[in-house]
């Protein structure tokens, strides 16, 4: 992910400061060098790197850490603030009726982003519609239509019409009752005059409230020119960076945002319609530095729980806190967990667990965990309703039968039962808690959010 190396290399330099209360010049120099190396290798523009590192250096040497703050936390706070400053505010995208025009080169992810954004707006209670004006790429119409069906949002396109401006105009009329109009445009492999002329005409036809430039995170320094040209022709209000789930470096996109004085609106983190996040600078940088992102995490948990519940009216996660925790509850929780996205993305959001914790895991740890969850799911599918409701009645002979029925070994069935027991015990502890205890525990968790070293309570996402 973008600047991924920054998180891990910075953490290892910061860990060397453990126990120190004051920084000397050598410490600061080493950290600044780490930051420079990571940013440059992530394709961030050289002059930007120099500006950023000199202000970090200056502040680290001259600012007095507030009483009781360790040298490590002091530097972490400065780096965090400077990175948030570099990325700037999130693009202003209010939750109100509006028209959004998407622009960008071929393959940057516009069509996918249009459907994802529509899905995102629909989760906020608005009625979005996607208008597909890409008459250049064969297949764009079907792709957009299918994604919109998956996102359960309105779609307009006309595969028989060749004039994109006409489609745009007619699309706006046909989807008049929608609150949000997202207009997808055609991309070309390079910025040609024809593309610019076409998008200018579409812009006049739909009169957007916002125009967003869609950039692939893999784009290098070319992003700067692209952003400028699109900005000159239609005016860019914000950027969507896509494919952040890949190995892309992302620095080029960040440079483009900074150079054109624009901002980031959304991040694309996968190929399905739900793989989109509203960009929040605090949470983003916090995650990057291994400090977690509670806000994003709780949004995902809430959404996943809701969807799991929508699918099965008989299941209500709130009942877990009141009654007994059955294997059926565990299966539903695993379903919800799957809906939250890839495990490594989720881990990044947990304060203290992200970055540093992940660095210590063997490379295949995520796959192993996910394989195990899948095996548990298969096993639970071959258990009877009674066994799922009363796992304590499952003795050795039933374990054998379940193993045979599910095609898994007995050991895995035992592991599932053990795991259930552990979760049941944890839930019991929660059940004994009053609201006040819960809040105290959450506070404690938040204050532990410094990624291994002392807490950074009150800073960034933890203070909100």
Determine if 108 is a binding residue for ligand GTP (CB under 6 A). Answer: yes
Determine if 112 is a binding residue for ligand GTP (CB under 6 A). Answer: yes
Among 225, 271, 312, 409, binds ligand GTP (CB under 6 A): 271
CA angle 70, 29, 75 (to 5 degrees): 25
Among 57, 82, 134, 237, binds ligand GTP (CB under 6 A): 134
Smallest gap, in angstroms, from Cβ of residue 187 to ligand GTP? 2
Among 265, 268, 449, 450, binds ligand GTP (CB under 6 A): 268
Among 34, 45, 198, 245, binds ligand GTP (CB under 6 A): 245
End-to-end CA distance of the chain: 25
Quick one: which segment of 15-23, 59-67, 121-129, 136-144 binds ligand GTP (CB under 6 A)?
Answer: 136-144
How many residues bind ligand GTP, per CB under 6 A?
A: 23
Q: Taking Cα atoms as reference points, which of 149, 84, 69 lies closest to residue 115?
A: 149
Determine if 345 is a binding residue for ligand GTP (CB under 6 A). Answer: no
- CA 373 to the chain's CA centroid: 22
Is 247 part of any known ligand binding site? no
Nearer to ligand GTP by C-beta: 29 or 367?
A: 367
Site map (CB under 6 A) of ligand GTP, residues 165-204, x = contact: ---------------------xx-----------------
Helix, strand or coil, per DSSP, at residue 277: strand
Helix, strand or coil, per DSSP, at residue 453: coil
Quick one: which segment of 5-13, 109-117, 380-388, 432-440 binds ligand GTP (CB under 6 A)?
Answer: 109-117
Give the whole-angstrom CA distance, residue 104 versus residue 191.
Answer: 9
Determine if 246 is a binding residue for ligand GTP (CB under 6 A). Answer: yes
Determine if 269 is a binding residue for ligand GTP (CB under 6 A). Answer: yes
Smallest gap, in angstroms, from Cβ of residue 377 to ligand GTP? 24
Buried b or exposed e, range 332-341, using 16+ CB within 10 angstroms: bbbbbbbbbb
Q: Name every residue whose Cβ is closer than 8 Å to that of residue 242 and which is 6 or more positions away in sequence.
A: 108, 109, 112, 113, 214, 215, 216, 217, 267, 268
- CA 431 to the chain's CA centroid: 31
Smallest gap, in angstroms, from Cβ of residue 61 to ligand GTP? 40
Smallest gap, in angstroms, from Cβ of residue 235 to ligand GTP? 20
Among 88, 107, 405, 454, binds ligand GTP (CB under 6 A): 107
Describe the strand order of the beta sheet including 154-156 as a list of residue ranges.
Answer: 154-156, 128-132, 180-184, 98-103, 210-216, 238-242, 264-268, 276-278
Quick one: which segment of 42-50, 242-250, 377-385, 388-396 binds ligand GTP (CB under 6 A)?
Answer: 242-250
What is the four-CA torsion angle of 3, 9, 15, 21, rounded to 10 degrees? Answer: -70
CA angle 372, 5, 268 (to 5 degrees): 65
Nearer to ligand GTP by C-beta: 1 or 305?
A: 1
- For the purposes of burial, counting CB atoms within 10 Å of the CB of 274, is it exposed (0-12), middle (13-18) or buried (19 or more)? buried
**SS3 for 19-70, per residue?**
CCCCCCHHHHHHHHHHHHHHHHHCCCCHHHHHHHHHHHHHHHHHCCCCCCCC
Quick one: which segment of 12-20, 270-278, 331-339, 365-373 binds ligand GTP (CB under 6 A)?
Answer: 270-278
Determine if 164 is a binding residue for ligand GTP (CB under 6 A). Answer: no
Determine if 106 is a binding residue for ligand GTP (CB under 6 A). Answer: yes
Determine if 265 is a binding residue for ligand GTP (CB under 6 A). Answer: no
Determine if 242 is a binding residue for ligand GTP (CB under 6 A). Answer: yes
On whether the CB atoms of residues 193 and 228 are closer than 8 A, the answer is no
CA angle 359, 365, 366 (to 5 degrees): 95
Which positions make up the binding site?
Answer: 104-111, 184-188, 242-245
Residues within the interface to ligand GTP (CB under 6 A): 104, 106-112, 134, 137, 140, 143, 186-187, 242-243, 245-246, 268-271, 275
Which positions make up the binding site for GTP?
Answer: 104-111, 184-188, 242-245
């Amino acid at each position: 992910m973008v600047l991924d190396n920054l998180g891990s290399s910075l953490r290892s330099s910061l860990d060397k400061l453990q126990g120190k209360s004051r920084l000397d010049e050598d410490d600061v120099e080493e950290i600044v060098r780490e930051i420079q190396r990571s940013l440059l290798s992530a394709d961030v523009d050289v002059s930007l790197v120099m500006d950023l590192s000199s202000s970090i250096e200056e502040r680290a040497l001259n600012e007095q850490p507030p009483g009781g703050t360790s040298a490590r936390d002091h530097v972490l706070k400065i780096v965090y603030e400077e990175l948030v400053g570099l990325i700037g505010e999130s693009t202003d995208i209010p939750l109100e009726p509006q028209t959004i025009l998407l622009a960008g080169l071929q393959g940057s992810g516009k069509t996918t982003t249009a459907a994802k954004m529509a899905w995102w707006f629909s989760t906020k209670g608005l009625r979005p519609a996607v208008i597909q004006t890409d008459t250049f790429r064969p297949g764009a119409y079907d792709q957009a239509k299918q994604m919109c069906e998956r996102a359960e949002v309105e779609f307009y396109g006309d595969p028989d019409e060749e004039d994109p401006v006409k489609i745009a105009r007619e699309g706006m009329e046909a989807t008049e009752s929608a609150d949000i109009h997202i207009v997808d445009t055609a991309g070309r492999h390079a910025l040609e005059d024809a593309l610019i002329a076409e998008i200018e005409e579409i812009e006049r036809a739909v009169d957007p409230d916002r125009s967003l430039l869609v950039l692939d995170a893999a784009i290098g320094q070319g992003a700067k020119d692209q952003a400028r040209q699109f900005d000159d022709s239609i005016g860019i209000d914000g950027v969507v960076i896509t494919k952040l789930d890949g190995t892309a470096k992302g620095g080029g996109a960040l440079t483009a945002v900074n150079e054109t004085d624009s901002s980031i609106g959304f991040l694309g983190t996968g190929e399905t319609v739900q793989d989109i996040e509203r960009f929040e600078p605090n949470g983003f940088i916090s995650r990057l530095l291994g400090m977690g992102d509670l806000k994003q995490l709780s949004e995902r948990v809430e959404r996943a729980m809701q969807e799991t519940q929508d699918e099965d009216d008989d299941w209500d996660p709130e009942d877990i806190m009141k009654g007994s925790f059955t294997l059926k509850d565990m299966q539903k929780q695993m379903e919800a967990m799957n809906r939250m996205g890839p495990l490594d993305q989720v881990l990044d959001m947990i304060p203290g667990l992200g970055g540093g914790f992940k660095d210590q895991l063997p490379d295949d740890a995520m796959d192993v965990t996910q394989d195990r969850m899948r095996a548990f799911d298969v096993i639970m599918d071959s258990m009877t309703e009674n066994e799922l409701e009363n796992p304590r009645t499952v003795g050795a002979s039933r374990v054998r039968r379940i193993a045979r029925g599910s095609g898994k070994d007995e050991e895995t069935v035992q592991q599932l039962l053990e795991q259930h027991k552990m979760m049941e015990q944890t839930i019991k502890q929660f059940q004994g808690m009053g609201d006040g205890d819960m809040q105290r525990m959450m506070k404690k968790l938040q204050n532990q959010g410094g990624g291994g070293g002392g807490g950074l309570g009150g800073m960034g996402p933890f203070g909100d």
